[in-house]
Amino acid sequence: MREVAVIGVGMSQWGELWRSSLRDLFVDAALAAVKDAGVDVKKIDSLVVGCMTSGLFTGQEHLGALMADYLGVKGIPATRVESACASGGVAFRTGFLEVASGMSDLVLVGGVEKMTDVSADQATRALSAASDFAYEAYNGITFPALYAMIARSHMERYGTTREQLALVAVKNHENALKNPKAQYHLKLSVEGVLKSVLVADPLRLMDCSPLTDGAAAAVLCPLEKAKKGAKRWVKVAGIGQATDTIALSSRPDPTWFEATSLAAQRAMRMAGVKPSGIDFAEVHDCFTIAEICAIEALGFCKPGEGGRFTEEGHTALGGSKPINTSGGLKAKGHPVGASGVAQIVELVEQLRGEAGDRKVKGARRGLAQNMGGTCGSAVVSILEKV
C-alpha cells in the first residue's frame, strides 16, 4: 500500500445553525479543506461522506451524489458511509484506503450532520437507532441511560467519583474557550456540573454532549505526492477499525470498550508505536464517562484508573497526555456524522502548529478515537509530523 498524507482540513462553524442547511454545512467545510490544501476542487478524484442519519434528522438521504453535485464535482465517485457516531472516522478510513490502494490520488473526506431541525424527542429517537433498537431503544433505554449504567458500573467497580466525571467536562470546556469553531464557549466548575439537571443518574446535563449542526473535511493524497507539491502535510501513520456487540447487556464488562482497544492495537501496530508514543489525543467524549473509559481502552492508563488519571491533571492541556484539546464532543459539539472528521482536523492543526492558545508544545504524534453507540464500533487514527 502507498503511504498517505492529509494535505488540507476545514470545518464549518458548529452550533445550532438555523440558517444553514445540511448541504450548506458540508460545502462550507469541503471548500475550506480544498483551499487549505491548495488544490483545485475539480481535481478531486473521489468523495467520501460520513453521516449517521440525515434521513431521520432532515429527510435527506443519497448524500454522496447530492454533495458532489453541490460541491460542483458531479460525475466523480461519491459514497456516503455510516457507522453511527463513528461515521466520520469510518469515512476517513475509507478515504485513506482509497488513496493507499492506488484507486485515487486526491480524495476529499467529509462528515456532516444537521441535528437541530427536529424536536428533542425526535432527535433522541434518531440517535437511538445507534443502539440495539429491538432490545434497548424499544424498551425505553436512551443513550444517557446506557452511559449512566456504564458510569455507575465504573464507580462501583473502581471507586470512580462523581467529581472525577465532572472534571472531564470542566477541562474540555476550558479547552473549547480557545477554539473559535466550538459550539460552547462556557467556563464550567465542578460545582456547576454537579448542580446541573439530573438526566440519568449519575449523569447530569453537563456530563452530556449537545445536539449540534456542523461539518468537517480533509483532503488526502499519496505521501510522495504531498512531499513534492503540498505546502503543509501530515502523515497518516496508522489506522484501525473494530466492532463489538451493540447491546450493552451482551458484554461481559460494560466499562471496557473492546472495539476501541482492538482498533487502537491495530492502529498502533501499523504506526509502530505504543501508547507512550502518543503525544495527545482526541477521544469520543459523548458523555464524561466515555472519555474515562476511552483513555483506559487506548492504554493511556490502566483499567479503572481513568478517573484518577484525569484528577491528577494528566489529560489537561499542560498535562502528560492532553486529551480533547479542541473541547471534545462535550464542548466543541457533536454533529454525530462529522465528529470523527473534526478530530482529524484538530490533529492536523496541532501537528502543523496552528492550534493557537490550545497548542500542545512539541507534539509530533496525535491519535483520534471515534466510536459508534456505546462503542459497538470504533476507529482509531494516528497522525504524525514528519
- Are residue 230 and residue 137 in the same domain, yes or no? no
Q: Does 185 qualify as catalytic in the annotation? A: no
What pLDDT is stored for residue 230 in this prediction?
80
pLDDT band at 141 (very low <50, low <70, confident <90, very high): very high
pLDDT tens digits, one per residue of 34-67: 999 999 999 999 999 999 999 999 999 999 999 9
Domain limits at 330?
A: 120-210+237-384
What pLDDT is stored for residue 262 in this prediction?
98
Q: How far apart are CA 181 and CA 214, in angstroms?
A: 10
Q: Say if pTM beats, i.e. exceeds, 0.85.
A: yes
Q: How far apart are CA 163 and CA 208, in angstroms?
A: 15
DSSP letter assigned to residue 277: G
- Are residue 268 and residue 296 in the same domain, yes or no? yes
- For residues 94, 95, 99 and 101, what is the CA-based torsion angle, rounded to 10 degrees? 10
Helix and strand numbers (H, E) in the chain are: 14, 11
- Are residue 147 and residue 226 in the same domain, yes or no? no
- Are residue 227 and residue 345 in the same domain, yes or no? no
- Are residue 63 and residue 188 in the same domain, yes or no? no
Task: Write the burial class of residue 374 (CB in 10 Å: 0-12 exposed, 13-18 middle, 19+ buried).
Answer: buried
What pLDDT is stored for residue 321 in this prediction?
98
Please answer whether residues 50 and 109 qualify as being in contact, where contact means their C-beta atoms are separated by less than 8 angstroms: yes
Q: Which of 85, 221, 286, 301 is catalytic?
A: 85
Residue that terminates a domain, selected from 173, 199, 234:
234
Q: Which of 286, 314, 334, 375 is catalytic?
A: 334
- Are residue 216 and residue 201 in the same domain, yes or no? no
- Are residue 102 and residue 202 in the same domain, yes or no? no
- Are residue 149 and residue 104 in the same domain, yes or no? no
pLDDT tens digits, one per residue of 279-320: 999 999 999 999 999 999 999 999 999 999 999 999 999 999
Written as one string, the DSSP assignment of 45-108 is: -EEEEE-S-HHHHTS---HHHHHHHHHT-BTB-EEEE-BTBTHHHHHHHHHHHHHHTTS-SSEE
- Are residue 191 and residue 75 in the same domain, yes or no? no
The rounded mean pLDDT for the chain is: 97
The CA-atom distances, in angstroms, between 29 and each of 67, 109, 341, 368 are: 12, 10, 11, 19
What pLDDT is stored for residue 30 in this prediction?
98
pLDDT band at 229 (very low <50, low <70, confident <90, very high): confident
- Are residue 245 and residue 323 in the same domain, yes or no? yes
Please give the average per-residue pLDDT across 183-210, as a whole number.
98
What pLDDT is stored for residue 231 in this prediction?
83
What pLDDT is stored for residue 98 in this prediction?
98
What pLDDT is stored for residue 320 in this prediction?
98
- Are residue 260 and residue 272 in the same domain, yes or no? yes
- Are residue 167 and residue 110 in the same domain, yes or no? no
Please name the amino acid found at residue 310.
Answer: T
CATH of the domain at 112: 3.40.47.10
Residue 386 has pLDDT above 90, yes or no: no
What pLDDT is stored for residue 323 in this prediction?
98
- What cell does 311 get? 484528577
For the chain, what is the domain count? Answer: 2
- What cell does 308 get? 484518577
Q: Does 334 qualify as catalytic in the annotation? A: yes
pLDDT band at 322 (very low <50, low <70, confident <90, very high): very high
